[in-house]
Amino acid sequence: MLEKAPGLGADEVVLDLEDSVPVELKAQARHAVAEALSVGDWKAGSVSVRVNGTSTPFYEDDVRAIAGAQRLDSVVLPKAEGAAEIERTAALLDDAAAGVARVRPVAIQALIESALGLRDVNEIAAASDRLDALILGPADMSVSLGFPSPDEGDRWDFVRGAVLVAARAAGIEAIDGPFLQVTDADGLLASAERAREFGFDGKWAIHPDQIDPLNQVFSPSPEEVAQARAIATALEGDSERGALRLDGEMIDEASRKRAELVLARASAAGLSAD
């Protein structure tokens, strides 16, 4: 998996030291991940490592082993339940990488996976300027909340809404958790489309086959890009009115901001915004 990961071409690759690694193999996995970060032609937009949680005996060793790696862009902190955990991780990253010259500090992403984390999600989102994303973890969250399964359903609406509002208020990204049924292509698309409708910036993939469908869902369509460009052009060309009509629709400053978001997403996806 570590050999294949650099060439996947995903927006982000997350190397996992937590749930996918048995206890007896934690040290071996930690060494393998640290070594992988120092070699290979990583084509992903960013490379992250999900460390073990702050309450485990593996947490500090995980962070210290990877903090100085030049190819590390962020640390994913699982089961985040309070601002103190984010602050502790930021301090540990600084201490472990003291003396290492970096273009920018290693960022932190927080996995919201429990009732406690959901209750305090606003506090977590505002805990540090190193935090750049909140990620919804459906498997553990469904257990914590007593859902019968992590499958899709209306019961997830308030959970997604809480995570999204906290992320937006803090000015960071909101990422939906993975769709766990790897062979259910229709279910994946439905889950991704629901997350996009909620306003999420992206969704985790747990199998390479999920990457292309997710990129398709979260990338603006040519029609959306064309409409956004038309709105931006119309408003730029009319400085005397705060609102005007375009193709029968009233557009204003809010329309311009929405158009800018679409064009920014198009640019991030490598699509032409012209």
Q: Residue 40: is its pLDDT beyond 70?
A: no
Per-residue pLDDT at 239: 57
Answer whether 200's CB lies under 8 Å from 174's CB.
yes
Q: Which residue has the tokens 């930021």?
A: 90
Domain extent for 255: 222-268
Residue 85's Cβ-count burial label (10 Å; 0-12, 13-18, 19+) is: buried
DSSP 8-state secondary structure symbol assigned to residue 164: H
82, 147: one domain = yes
Work out the number of other CB atoms within 10 angstroms of the CB of residue 116: 15
pLDDT tens digits along 53-98: 999 999 999 999 999 988 899 999 999 999 999 999 999 999 998 8
For residue 146, give both structure tokens: 């007593």
pLDDT in tens, 115-141: 999 999 999 999 999 999 999 999 999
Whether 146 and 232 map to the same domain: the answer is no
Residue 176, token pair as written in the block: 């939906």
Give the integer Cα–Cα distance in Å for 82 and 236: 43
Mean per-residue pLDDT of the chain: 89
Confidence check: pLDDT of 274 > 60: no
**Number of domains composing the chain:** 2
Cα dist. 35→15, 40, 70, 94, 95 in Å?
A: 12, 10, 12, 20, 20
pLDDT at 231 over 60: yes
Rounded to the nearest 10 degrees, the angle between the axes of helix 83-96 and helix 59-66 is 40
Shared domain for 172 and 259, answered yes or no, is no
Q: Does residue 6 have a pLDDT over 90?
A: no
Q: Tell me, yes or no, whether 226 and 214 share the same domain.
A: no
Task: Establish if 273 belongs to a structural domain.
Answer: no
Q: pTM value?
A: 0.86
How far is it, in rounded angstroms, from Cα 179 to Cα 138? Answer: 8
- Domain membership of residue 274 (yes or no) is no
Q: Please report the beta strands in the chain, taking only residues with DSSP state E, as ranges in sequence order.
A: 12-16, 46-50, 74-77, 107-112, 131-136, 173-176, 202-203, 244-246, 249-251
Domain end marker among 180, 201, 218: 218
Q: Which amino acid, residue 74?
A: S
User: What pLDDT score was predicted for residue 242?
Assistant: 66
Rounded to an integer, what distance in angstroms lies between the CA atom of residue 227 and that of residue 249?
A: 12
Check whether 193 has a pLDDT greater than 90: yes
pLDDT of 146 strictly over 60? yes
269 vs 170: which has the higher pLDDT: 170
